[in-house]
Amino acid sequence: MPHPAPRFNPPTVPFAHAPARACSCCSKPLSTGIGYEVPYIGIVGPKCVRKFAALAQALAQIDGLTLTRDDGAETHAAAHRLIFTLRLKIGYEVQILSNADGSKTLKIGARTRKHAKVCVTWEERRAEFEQDLKLASARPTGQVAA
């Protein structure tokens, strides 16, 4: 069963305010002319920030994620699913950087799809993506978050 996505309340979301005429996701006009600047997404309104705060936080958590040889096969498989989901299902560029110690670091890049398509795709993939993120975050102790 997919993990339910957390809900965010805009005043507690640590995103800067930015001037905008309309939400970059749903295109609804912003009555105050101010939206929330969500990294990797753009400037969104108060309703859409609730949807995309989770994506922005997930992308921030993945950006710089380092996998070592000691991490279990399940962790590596979950990381590959995350990369696949980001690249092909949602539409973000992901680089895999090799480190001198043999570990690999993930680096999130630019969107590879139009903004509106990323928004629709994210809504479809949200629960699956968050579950894989939990698995990839599990360390070699063998404990995997449910």
Q: Look at residue 143 and tell me whether its pLDDT is greater than 70.
A: no
Q: What is the pLDDT of residues 68-91, one digit of tens each?
A: 988 888 888 888 888 988 888 888
pLDDT value for 69: 87
Q: Look at residue 5 and tell me whether its pLDDT is greater than 50.
A: no
- pTM exceeds 0.85, yes or no: no
pLDDT tier for residue 110 given thresholds of 50, 70 and 90: confident
Q: Look at residue 117 and tell me whether its pLDDT is greater than 80.
A: no
pLDDT tier for residue 3 given thresholds of 50, 70 and 90: very low
Q: For residue 49, which of 23, 69, 74, 30 has the smallest C-alpha distance?
A: 23
Question: How far apart are alpha carbons 1 and 145 in whole angstroms?
Answer: 13
**Could you tell me if residue 142 is left (phi over 0), alpha (psi between -120 and 50 degrees) or otherwise beta?**
left
3-state SS, residue 37: strand
Q: For residue 24, which of 15, 35, 13 has the smallest C-alpha distance?
A: 35
Whether the CB-CB separation of 132 and 83 falls below 8 Å is answered with: no
Which amino acid type is present at position 87?
Answer: R
